[in-house]
Structure 1
Amino acid sequence: MSIYRSIFKKDLFKGQVILVTGGGTGIGRCIAHELAALGTTVVIAARKIEPLKTVQDEIQKLGGNCDTMLLNIRDAAMATQVIQDIVAKHGMLNGLVNNAGGQFMSPANQLTSKGFSTVVDLNLNGTFNMCKAAFDGYMGEHGGQIVTIVAETRNGIPRAMHTGAARAGIINMTKTLAIEWGPYNGIRINCVAPGLIISSGMKNYHETMVDLLAHSHWMNPTSRYGTESEVSAAVAFLLSPAASYINGVNLEVDGGSSLSKGNPEGDELMYNPEGSRHPVYVGWSEGVDNVHGIKHVDAPAKINELLRKYKAIGRSSKI
């Protein structure tokens, strides 16, 4: 296992304690490695202990400090208890990274009220639970930094309207909390909105969705996907003194994909023959015969190929 090479100085967060929710997999795992490499005592928390222990072992083998705790962010009482346990054990809580969350893919017309509520409860309510617990348990009196991982929502999120609504709510909540909590010893709270990131988290999606994602890099002005380490670097920046005058922002780490005017899922959503009176426009570059077709690929193989190209741990100057 190679050493995590952060672009920041080694002792940037020396002596600090930072909690990363959902720190056992994907982007959360990479954030934990980044912060530990910078001298943080990083506490990773999630619902399942096994992935947390694996990451803890990785970090400790590299000489970092890592603690683990069980946490369900939807449980406000549990969130409060975790913060209290961290302060009791480590004496402080300098930072909170709200990374835990989740969603499933579904067109809005097939989404149930229960499915919508579940995703909003997990992402929006869960994030509030953690922010409030951190404020009440330590930061309201001592200050601190909060960074929440959301999603790039500028032009909506087709087939994930429920998570788009939740993440947009988090972004607005962040702005309000920045205003209300800033006077409390300089609390800063910001968001990071990743675009399409090559991550182990892609394994949670159906192969059809993976296929769509794997062929949508053309929507990005940089013509490539992002890496977990590029997200973790943005998180470290917002937690650091370099961002001491940045509060209430949503930092999009998306290679400029949020500026695109096209549809990342192609003409399948742009034209629905069953519900439209308009004929297919044969001038489309894809051609009339390709308007409805989705060519599937071997999803696991495609994910592994992408993960090999964009390594979760480590950084290369040539992506």
Structure 2
Amino acid sequence: MSGAIEFEDYAEYRGGPSWQARWVARAMRWTARPGLDIVASIARPWNIGLPSVLDYLAAVIPVPRGTRRNIVRLDGHRAEWVSAATAPLPAAGGKAILYFHGGGFLAGGYRSHRRLVAQISAAAKVPVFNVAYRQLPRHTVGDSIADAIDAYQYLLEHGFDPAGIVVAGDSAGGLLAFSVAPMARRRGLPLPAGTVGLSPLLNLDYTALLGHANDRTDSLLSAHSVRTIIEVGMARLGPIDPSWSPVNGELTGLPPALIQVSSTEVLRANAVLMAERLIGAGVPVRLQIWPGQVHVFQAGADILPEGRAAIAGIADFVRGLIDRDSAATEKVS
């Protein structure tokens, strides 16, 4: 009998899909996915930056009652502290979630993801540092990664203990989240307590997505859309550095990770590959596969029971990491 770790040993299949999830997936498949495919088909270097305006439109999305917010100006970009009514305000020595929004490095910002991070803050009872990093078409993915590690360093410089920081992100933001710990190690900085990826994009080599079975079942993203972002948005600025893909990094010694992904989405291939490589490097990882959900279904927590359950799972993972250090300190004292 071999000692090889089988997929079933580390993949957790969660509940669902609920009738709400099936309805949302069907609606997305008939509206959002064809729309994104059309946009991808007409994308050119001169118009690929148009989705960036969506973040300003998202400012009208309400946040849960009692949520506190505070804008922070960083070097060349901004972030926003989001603290739910159940979470303390950010303070030196306190806990924090460092969050990076999705949007294919083209769309989104702290406005578009404000409600989602507020819900995560409420569940985890931790303030969230929600970062609006530089994006395409004016800036490379390398610039986005630089903004991610700079945001982490900002927290350290303002008194946050790395053992109380968990880095998280969805979709393209998941790539940034999984880039922080390796970049921190290169800079000689202490590592964060853990990393969370929600439907993360972790490999800019899209060839594995072409012809993948989930390219037919994903309700929102197609391999065509992902390829367009990479070829029209990223490659026009110069060669794509393989080191930008977290799956290619030196993973040994990284903090524990949680990855949540839908069973039917095309980026499941990224999630599985990253989990396999983390396990091979000896890094504790939980891969949660949620049947029949849309891409980043956690953002639909207001109507999706699986979204609420996933956010609760994120909160449990975060608290399990950041409370561990506090418990150890109390035991010693």
TM-score range, shorter chain: 0.3 to 0.5
**What is the TM-score normalised by the length of structure 1?**
0.39
Please say which structure displays the higher CA radius of gyration.
1
